[in-house]
Amino acid sequence: MPQDLAEIYRTTYRALVRFLYRKVWDAERAEDLAQEAFARAVVHKPDNARGWLFIVAANMARDDARRAARERRHLTLLKAEPQASEPAAADDALHAESERTHVRAALEQLTPRDREVLLLWDSGLSYEEIAAQTGLARGAIGTTLARARRRLVDVYEAGQRGEHVARG
């Protein structure tokens, strides 16, 4: 196995899982897809492996989204793997879950392109790499990110306010 790919795996695996998670919203699925992306990289030996991995991952996530709805209807027999969640942590977990849902809802209010740029930046890609991957001009990345960040925060805060109003 190429040495540099092992290094990229070490440094990028988590970022790739996070990137995928924000697309498929299923931790296990995200890990599977990340593993598969790396398995493909082993075969293809791409030049810019990091950028390549995110492109492949984005494509797989898109394909996966189409299948996901169909698959979820099936009984997932062995889904309940041993999980290290103590009962005491259940409250925290619930809270985290609800916040996740809100961020997800906010992310989904972004245009696909803005969302992609934001997620790629958050995965550690440079403007240069993001430009290469999205086909945007390098000079447009800052503007896109500015818009995406503002929209994310605005929608999220608006959602929180709405909820408090509804509760109060």
Partner 1 sequence: MSMSHVDDGMLHAYLDGELAPVDARGVDAHVAQCPDCRRRLDEERALIARATELLALATPPDRQVPPFRAGDVKAPTRVWWRVRLPLAWAATVALALGIGSYLGREAAPAPQAEMATDSAAARARSLARREFRPEARGTVGTPAVAAPGSAAVSPAPGGARADNIARPRPEPVESKAEGERPRELAAKIAAYKAASDERDAWQKGDAISLDSARHVLGGDPVVVPGVPVEAFYLGRGVGYSAVVIVQQALDSSTMIEVINARPGSLLLDQVVVSGAAAVRPDSGRPTESRQLVPKSAPQPLRAAVQASPNLFRDVRGPLSPDSLAALRRRLRPLGP
Q: Give me the phi and psi of 84, to 5 degrees please.
A: -90, 55
Mask 18-57, x = binds partner 1 (CB under 8 A)? x--xx----xxxxxx--xx-xxx-xx--------------
Going by C-alpha positions, the residue among 29, 89, 86 that lies closest to residue 57 is 29
Output the smallest distance, CB 86 to partner 1, in A: 13
CB 40 within 8 A of CB 31: no
The amino acid occupying position 145 is L
**Token representation of residue 48:** 């810019």
Helices (H), 46-111: 49-72, 90-107
Closer by beta carbon to partner 1, 47 or else 83: 83
Nearer to partner 1, 78 or 166 (CB): 78
- Look-up: residue for tokens 């240069």? 128
Q: Which of 146, 161, 162, 163 binds partner 1 (CB under 8 A)?
A: 146
Give yes or no for residue 71 binding partner 1 (CB under 8 A): yes
CA distance 159 to 162: 5
Rule CB under 8 A: which residues touch partner 1?
1, 6, 9-10, 13-14, 17-18, 21-22, 27-32, 35-36, 38-40, 42-43, 71, 74-79, 81, 96, 99-100, 102-104, 106-107, 118-119, 121-122, 126-127, 139-150, 152-153, 156
